[in-house]
């Protein structure tokens, strides 16, 4: 109680008493206090406005970015793009002579510039100066020549070999590469996006052993991030920022890929703060993702399509009449609206709208159960009842949902089918490579150009070729060959238009839709510059500019 009495006495004598002594000047004192308060408040507001005018948040080095990955990564080597997961990791570890920019155009990468001969058969690339491998060794023209020769060697068994048939590679000096093509080939600069591998590490390895070489577990590339090591039991791939990257040291200290059993697990991983970004592969996942405040979804354009590929060598679907009937029985609009939530556009042809040679006048089979049943009535009952059509696709993907819908559509016109959905690795090894299916529901990337040689030429029927329908036609082969080598754009378009006419008559596949690539990232992540992509791994364009940390900086310093 003593201290309370003292405080009361002090307040009355010194504070209240002092205030009373001011007398008539109390009003003046209050007025000045108000003026000072207003001045201080104005100064504070002005300071904020000045800061907003001259200061901003700028990216700074440090931090970790983690992304969800679906699929097994057993090795990373750009010569063996076994699956999308492997291609994703390879995209940030290795660099090509060229790359695809945000406008879906070819831009310089390892090559600072290039010249193309008048006949469009010779390309001369000039490398950037002082490019280093991630072990500190200088990258030279010899590495480029070694990479191309290795791809071309049949013992390597690279699926990229068809892109380099007949190309002669020559190093004019340590920084100049000349590539001579047997004939002109319009999309060749896209082929040059393939990652370059180091000769000083792999030069003495037999090509037949490259796929299983230890290098693929601890790769050395020239990209912005270096992979530490792939361990058999690891569910995580850790990559460190490569400080000597030729375009600039990455902001991110680390780039991590967390491997999940299914893309369905990505959202749960994000909510548990395990990852910062992931691909949104299902409409149901996107609906949930939109409800998360700190998550942004980027809708990126990619020239890809989902399709039902008929294995036309299989007795179950060898009759073109049956394939035509199934095309009429497939309701693409329903698939886009119901299974894909509208996140795609219906397609009918193997060449997409906007590409050279696209021809909307080519015959298409719009949904009509009546026409389907009419054709089926011409088929023998033995042919229909011989066995169920086996539809194979990827498990835990939107393809599985689409396959079940297709099964119901075909059943509605009297055709029995069964859906086999397997893990992506199993699908690749045990179904796609041996062509073990009647119908394969899967996707393909068209690329930067109309050239579909790799998907429909008869030379690509067997693995590692990508002719999934085993479609074979001498006339189609001729059209694809002349189309890819044509110098005149009008003539080239006419070749591809004629190919589409022939393709539509044979119905080797049912093109379904072209999807959007939906890519989610935490709001704190910055630097994403990809927009129009050729393939999903293009989202890592300029990944060295990605950041998760910021600092205050003047706007003038960033100009």
Domain extents in the chain: 56-94+223-293+527-559, 95-219, 304-515
Listed residue (306, 296, 215, 255) closest to 91, CA to CA: 255
User: Which range is least confidently modeled, 234-238, 382-386, 462-466, 484-488?
Assistant: 382-386
> Does CATH place domain 56-94+223-293+527-559 in 3.40.190.10?
yes
Helix or strand or coil: residue 396?
coil
Which is more confident, 262 or 27?
Answer: 262
Residue 57, pLDDT score: 76
Structural contact between residues 525 and 548, judged by C-beta atoms closer than 8 angstroms: yes
User: Which pLDDT band holds residue 540 (cuts at 50, 70, 90)?
Assistant: very high
User: Which range is least confidently modeled, 330-334, 418-422, 513-517?
Assistant: 513-517
Distance CA 330, CA 366 (A): 8
| Percent of the chain scoring above 70 in pLDDT | 87
> Does CATH place domain 304-515 in 3.10.105.10?
yes
Asked whether the CA dihedral 26, 27, 30, 31 is positive or negative, the reply is negative
Exposure b/e, 214-245, CB count within 10 A at least 16 = b? ebbbebbbbbbbbbeebeeeeeebbbebbeeb
Residue 282, pLDDT score: 82
Which is more confident, 484 or 221?
Answer: 221
Residue 53, pLDDT score: 59
Residue 337 has pLDDT above 70, yes or no: yes
Residue 62, pLDDT score: 96
Residue 557, pLDDT score: 52
When the pLDDT of each residue in the chain is averaged and rounded to a whole number, the result is 90
User: Which pLDDT band holds residue 424 (cuts at 50, 70, 90)?
Assistant: confident
The mean pLDDT of 97-120, rounded to a whole number, is: 95
Listed residue (223, 219, 257, 226) closest to 240, CA to CA: 226
CB atoms within 10 A of CB 14: 10
Residue 320 has pLDDT above 70, yes or no: yes
- End-to-end C-alpha distance for the chain, whole angstroms: 66
Element (H, E) at 344: strand 344-346
Residue 39 has pLDDT above 80, yes or no: no
User: Which pLDDT band holds residue 450 (cuts at 50, 70, 90)?
Assistant: confident
Residue 38, pLDDT score: 75
Distance of CA 216 to the CA centre of its chain: 21
Q: What is the CATH number of domain 95-219?
A: 3.90.76.10
Helix or strand or coil: residue 498?
helix
Q: Over the Cα atoms of the chain, what is R_g? A: 31
User: Which range is least confidently modeled, 104-113, 126-135, 351-360, 400-409?
Assistant: 351-360
Residue 2 has pLDDT above 90, yes or no: no
User: Which pLDDT band holds residue 228 (cuts at 50, 70, 90)?
Assistant: very high
Residue 239 has pLDDT above 80, yes or no: yes
Work out the angle between the directed axes of helices 474-485 and 489-506 (0-180°, nearest 10).
Answer: 160
Cβ partners under 8 Å of residue 480, min gap 6: 451, 452, 453, 456, 457, 495, 499
User: Which range is least confidently modeled, 71-85, 313-327, 498-512?
Assistant: 71-85
Residue 486, pLDDT score: 82
Residue 7, pLDDT score: 53
User: Which range is least confidently modeled, 33-42, 148-157, 474-483?
Assistant: 33-42
| Percent of the chain scoring above 90 in pLDDT | 72
Residue 33 has pLDDT above 70, yes or no: no
Residue 24 has pLDDT above 70, yes or no: no
Distance CA 174, CA 254 (A): 32
Cβ-count burial of 36 within 10 angstroms (0-12 exposed, 13-18 middle, 19+ buried)? exposed
Residue 25, pLDDT score: 61
Residue 9 has pLDDT above 70, yes or no: no
Per the DSSP assignment, residues forming a β-bridge with 513 are 306, 346
Residue 552, pLDDT score: 76
Residue 303 has pLDDT above 70, yes or no: yes
The mean pLDDT of 513-534, rounded to a whole number, is: 93
Residue 193, pLDDT score: 97
């Amino acid at each position: 109680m003593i201290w309370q009495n003292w405080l009361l006495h002090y307040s009355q004598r010194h504070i209240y008493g002092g205030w009373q002594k001011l007398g008539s000047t109390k009003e003046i004192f209050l007025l000045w206090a108000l003026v000072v308060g207003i001045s201080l408040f104005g100064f504070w507001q002005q300071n904020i406005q000045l800061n907003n005018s001259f200061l901003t948040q700028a990216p700074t080095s440090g931090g970790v970015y983690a992304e969800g990955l679906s699929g097994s990564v057993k090795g990373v080597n750009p010569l063996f793009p076994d699956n999308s997961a492997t291609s994703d990791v390879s995209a940030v570890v290795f660099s090509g002579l060229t790359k695809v920019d945000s406008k879906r155009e070819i831009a310089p990468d390892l090559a600072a510039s290039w010249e193309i001969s008048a006949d469009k058969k010779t390309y001369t690339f000039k490398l950037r100066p002082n490019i280093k491998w991630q072990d500190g060794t200088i990258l030279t023209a010899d590495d480029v020549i070694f990479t191309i020769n290795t791809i071309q060697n049949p013992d390597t068994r690279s699926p990229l070999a068809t892109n380099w048939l007949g190309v002669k590679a020559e190093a004019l000096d340590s920084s100049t590469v000349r590539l001579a093509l047997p004939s002109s080939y319009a999309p060749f600069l896209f082929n040059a996006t393939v990652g370059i591998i180091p000769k000083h590490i792999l030069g003495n390895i037999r090509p037949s052993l490259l796929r299983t070489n230890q290098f693929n577990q601890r790769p050395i590339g020239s990209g912005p991030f270096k992979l530490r090591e792939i361990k058999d039991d690891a569910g995580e791939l850790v990559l460190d920022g490569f400080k000597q990257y030729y375009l600039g040291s990455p902001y991110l200290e680390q780039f991590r890929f967390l491997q999940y059993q299914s893309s369905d697990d990505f959202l749960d991983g994000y909510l548990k703060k395990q990852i910062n970004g992931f691909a949104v592969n299902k409409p149901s996942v996107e609906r949930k993702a939109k409800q998360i405040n700190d998550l942004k979804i980027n809708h990126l354009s990619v020239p890809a399509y989902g399709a039902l590929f008929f294995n036309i060598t299989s007795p179950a679907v060898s009759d073109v009449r049956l394939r035509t009937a199934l095309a009429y029985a497939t309701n693409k609009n329903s698939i886009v609206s119901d299974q894909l939530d509208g996140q795609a556009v219906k397609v009918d042809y193997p060449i997409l709208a906007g590409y050279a040679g696209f021809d909307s006048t080519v015959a298409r089979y719009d949904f009509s159960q009546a026409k389907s049943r009419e054709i089926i009535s011409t088929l023998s009952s033995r042919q229909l009842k011989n066995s169920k059509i086996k539809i194979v696709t990827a498990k835990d993907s939107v393809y599985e949902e689409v396959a079940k819908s297709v099964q119901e559509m075909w059943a509605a016109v009297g055709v029995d089918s069964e859906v086999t959905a397997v893990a992506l690795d199993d699908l690749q090894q045990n179904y796609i490579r041996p062509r073990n299916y009647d119908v394969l529901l899967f996707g393909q990337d068209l690329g930067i150009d109309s050239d579909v040689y790799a998907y429909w030429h008869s030379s690509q029927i067997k693995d590692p070729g990508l002719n999934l329908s085993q479609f074979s036609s001498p006339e189609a082969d001729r059209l694809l060959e002349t189309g890819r080598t044509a110098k005149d754009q009008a003539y080239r378009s006419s070749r591809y238009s004629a190919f589409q006419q022939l393709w539509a008559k044979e119905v080797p596949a049912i093109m379904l839709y072209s999807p959007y690539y939906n890519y989610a990232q935490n709001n704190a992540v910055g630097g994403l510059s990809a927009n129009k992509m050729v393939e999903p791994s293009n989202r890592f364009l300029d990944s060295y500019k990605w950041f998760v940390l910021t600092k205050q900086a003047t706007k003038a310093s960033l100009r």
